[in-house]
Amino acid sequence: MSEIIRVKVLSGFVCFVLIMNGFGAFSQVEISKENSAKEEKERKKTKTKELIEKDSLSATSLYFNSNWSYTPRRLEVNEGLFGDSLGERANETAGNRWSFGLGFRNQIHKHIALEGGLSFMRNSEKYNFEGVDTAFSYVTEYSYLALPIKVYYTYGKEFKFLGGVGITPQMFVRYKQDRNWKTTEGNEESETIKTTTGFNSFTISATISAGVQIELGKRVSVQVIPEYRIQLNSSNTKQDSYKHYARAIGVNAGIVVRL
């Protein structure tokens, strides 16, 4: 009889131990689930905060650019009544000029941005001749008020790649030529010619751009975007002796401010 009691007591003790172990394991699972739920809640809270901060900024940015360009040109004889040989103009070489602009860029899609702006654009070319006792040189400048329009593919955020194409309508502002020469008597003289007549009042160029934008803070970035620009119609009127097409290989560098 005592043996039966001992067996029953031992069995009860074993059952108690098993029940307590099961309860402990269940408690650990519950605690683990509770901790995971808290972590997930914190992650969602942080993500929501980031999205709110992101959405508080507009997809539109303003940019302020300076542009340095090397500006070769293509010069052709105007066929027909007004045409003439290139002569010494065939020996002109490319100049370089600074241009300036501002505008906006709108991120309409995760990887697509539209850009429009206003810029003061300049092209240049030069000529230099030196004889035995004479010399003659000039630097020519064409100035335009331009409205660049571009479409960019973008990738990245803090360090963003931008590559795009566009068109640039240009309204002619001024033709300027600085001339310098030395006479046979050894005198050095100069003159500056400025005019707004005799040139096409409207030209248009196509552009190809690729560069980077680097964030400096929540709203401010810097950008460096090399660009190639090719003029599609002549700078000169139809009655001129030559057809003049500007080219530009340059770099846009400036500041971008997110609204």
pLDDT digit string (tens) for 37-68? 777 777 776 665 555 445 456 789 999 999 99
Tokens encoding 97:
């000029």
| Distance between CA atoms of residues 165 and 184, nearest Å | 51
Q: Would you list the domain boundaries of the chain?
A: 1-56, 58-258
Residue tagged 């552009």 (tokens):
207
* Residue 132 to residue 91: CA distance in whole angstroms: 18
Residue 246: per-residue pLDDT? 97
Q: Output the pLDDT for position 4.
A: 57
Residue among 66, 50, 212, 75 at smallest CA distance from 140: 75
Q: Which of 200, 197, 86, 195 is nearest to 141 (CA)?
A: 195
pLDDT at 31 over 60: no
| Whole-number average pLDDT of the chain | 87
What predicted TM-score, i.e. pTM, was given to this entire model?
Answer: 0.76
Read off φ and ψ for residue 72, nearest 5 degrees.
-70, 170
Residue 71 pLDDT greater than 70, yes or no? yes
* pLDDT value of position 83: 83
pLDDT at 176 over 60: yes
- Comparing 83 with 21, the larger pLDDT belongs to 83
Residue 145 corresponds to which tokens in the numbers above?
């008020």
pLDDT tens for 97-116 read 999 999 999 999 999 999 99
User: Comparing C-alpha atoms, which of 229, 221, 227, 210 is closest to residue 254?
Assistant: 221
Core vs surface per residue 32-48: b (16+ CB within 10 A) or e: eeeeeeeeeeeeeeeee
Nearest residue to 229 (alpha-carbon basis) of 211, 243, 252, 249: 249
Higher pLDDT residue, 13 or 164?
Answer: 164
Q: Class for domain 58-258, per CATH?
A: mainly beta
Q: When comparing pLDDT for 167 and 40, which is higher? A: 167
